[in-house]
Structure formats: C-alpha cells, structure tokens
Structure 1
C-alpha cells in the first residue's frame, strides 16, 4: 500500500493496537471533529495541525481515511471489504454464514467494528492527532486530554456547498446531505449505545457564519484554556 502517511503511522504507533483498558485515561492529547455533511472539516483540521505543531514542537497529524486502511490491515483485509461499516450497512445473516465458510479471512461485523474502535483509541491515546469522524468523539471520551468539536450549519447552506463540489441539483444535494448525516449518526450511536447529544462536544460551531480560520483559532484558544496541551486555566 503506497500510502506515505499510513506507513508513517505504522512506524510511529508500534505496537499496532493497544489495550484501551490499560492506561487509557490520561493519554492524548487528541482532538476530534464531527461534522454535518457539507461542513468541511479537513480544512479546519489541517490548519489546527499546522498551528499546534508550531506551538507545541510536536508533529500533529490529521487522521480520517487512515482509520479505514489501518483497521483493514489489522484484519488482513482490503479496505474495500470493511468500508461498508462506515456507510452504516450490515451483513445479512446469510452473508455472515456464507462468508464464514467461503473465506478464511472472513471477519464479522462485530469484529470489524471492534477493530475500528481499537484503532481509533490507539491513535488517540498516543496523542498529537486530530481525528475526523469515524466515531472518534465517542471512542475518545475516556481520554482526559481531549477536545471535541462539532461543525454544523443550515441544511440549505450545506447543500449549496455540496453543489459546488458535485455539480448536481439542489434537490439531489439536500437528499445526499440527509442520507450521509443519518449514516454518520448510526455509526456514532452504535459506539455510544444511544443517540449522541450535543452536550458530548466541547464546542459546536455554525460553519455558515464562521470561517475555517476563525474556527481553528478559536478552538486552539479553548484547547489551551481547557488544559489539553498542558496547564489548565481555572475558569471562574
């Protein structure tokens, strides 16, 4: 797999998967960004990673598709074989039976999701990373040095942003945004065991009214005040 970042992760994060029950609390620092479809998280994450690298002297990394690739590697499967999990699809009972008998590399839905959870926690515990989506906000709640961001905006505005990317009709983009939001919610709720509340996040931004730069800068200020990077400022 010719993915330079993935190879970097493999070298940096040995052993591959840690036991989240051992030393899970107090690790990090880690930042998670959840987003409604049409709110671009990667720009905010890249800005934050660059600023935090300069501020702390430690290299910060943005992680999203690497979770899929690394989880597949742990399971000895091609990434495409487990991608359906991120699309909130599940195998039927018949698929499970056929797969178990016909493929020596077969893995159940439960095993795949557990591996994904372990990989996310493994990256998070080792710190200096920004995890975009992938249930990160739920899976890293036990880490004290963590900060959780949610990007949201009115549906029509998000659909308009998607129109610029996909060159499709407003009707199609409204439908697409709703579909992706539901799929992301299903995955988060699976890991959380119940619907996720906005109070799970440290901060929720309206991406329509704030630029990526403003969100990145504001988040870093809050991260410092919360003590994620070091000494905490006690708020009155």
Structure 2
C-alpha cells in the first residue's frame, strides 16, 4: 500500500511533472466558512462552457464543477485501473482506501482524516480530476495540493468574520452564538486539514487571486475570474475565435 500511489501516479499516462505534461486547464476554489464557493463554481462552469463552445472544435468542451457525482466517477475509474492494471492492491487495501475517501468527500468528515495513506489517496484523486481538464474543484485542499501545477487558477474567497457570522445566521437559521461557533470550528478544521496535507498552514501566495466575498457580488467575481483566465491565456479571448 505504501508504494501504491507512487506507482500509480508515475504510470498514469496523462501526468508527468518533470516534462510538464499535465493537461488542463482547471480551477480550484478555497473558501472561508460562510463564503459560497459552490455558487461561484456553478456559474463559472456554465459561462466557461459557453466560451468553449464558441470555438470551431466542440469536442470535450464542457467545464464541470466537481460535485459528489463527478468525484465518484473518477474514483470508479481509478478502482478499475487498480484492479485491472496490476498495481499494489494486497488484501484490497488500495480499493478500500479509494472508497473511504469517496464516501467522505461529500461530508465535512473528510477534514477529520489524519491517516497519511488516506491523505495520499485524496491527493491522487485530486490530481486525476485536474488531469481531466476543464474542472473546477471546490475545497478539499485542492489549491495547495496543485499549487505548482501549470495551466490553472487558484482562487480564495474570504470575508470579515462579522459578515460571515451574519450570513450563516440567515442561511442556517442559527443564533449568533451558534453561527460563530460553526464558523470558528469549520475554519479550524479546514486549516488543520491543510496542515496535514502539506505540512504547514496555507499562505496568501498559495493562491493566484483572493476575493473579498463580503464586498463583491457573485457575478462580479465570476466576471473577474473569466477576465483573468483570458489574460492568462487559459481560455481564449472572444476575438480569437
């Protein structure tokens, strides 16, 4: 099991960090509790898909944000490759770890994971999602895991804590004390998980752009992201079509 993902990632045909053979593009969105990364991801996936379909080549043009279904599809593909590809899978440990991370993905319990093999498994799945290209990965430490991979944009959503408390009170119908407790605990869990994944706290330079979610509407954030992607030539400008 210790060598499973080293072997898997070295042999995965779409990824080679040394040569730069790493398809994309992809986007990661990190957020503080109370900031709606999911809404940004959904809107962004629709707009970027529209940009892709303006080109002459319409094959595999859809952008998708990674929800539980997309995550599970990737896990199923990896399980098939593990079983059929002869990778280290004694006693079914590799498959078991893949399924454990898959089950945890849609729950906040994923941030309680401390087993290094499970964390390595998550890294492998995140890398696979990035390799697919035209994916938008929300949370799960994807930004710091993929920090040094090219052809991507790492985004961070932040807001003052008082604003986030008020927003969580409204969304979840909580008292102020309950909302504050929720935010503090969730931020601590996410920060702690990042430390488990990369061995340190997240820093501003782990992200390409940080938005103040309290002062910017969703559409303005999405428009800004699209402009950044165009200027970085991750997506084409309209007049390039």
> Shorter-chain TM-score category?
0.7 to 0.9
**Is 1:62 the counterpart of 2:55 in the alignment?**
no
Residue correspondences, number: 198
Stretches of structure 1 that go unaligned for 5 or more consecutive residues are 1-15, 91-108, 232-236
Report deviation, 1:61.
0.5
Match for residue 189 of structure 1? Answer: 195
Match for residue 209 of structure 1? Answer: 215
Match for residue 111 of structure 2? Answer: 87
Report deviation, 1:88.
2.5
Report deviation, 1:68.
6.2
Matches within 5 A, 1:53-202: 53-57=49-53, 58-66=61-69, 69=72, 74=79, 75-76=95-96, 77=99, 79-80=102-103, 86-90=110-114, 109-202=115-208
State the alpha-carbon separation in 2 of the partners of residues 230 and 165 from structure 1: 37
State the alpha-carbon separation in 2 of the partners of residues 72 and 55 from structure 1: 28
Stretches of structure 2 that go unaligned for 5 or more consecutive residues are 1-7, 54-60, 80-94
Match for residue 34 of structure 1? Answer: 30
- When the two chains are superposed, the root-mean-square deviation of aligned CA atoms in Å is 2.6
SS at match of 1:33: strand
Match for residue 82 of structure 2? Answer: none
TM-score of the two chains, using structure 1 as the length reference: 0.75
Report deviation, 1:81.
6.4
TM-score of the two chains, using structure 2 as the length reference: 0.73
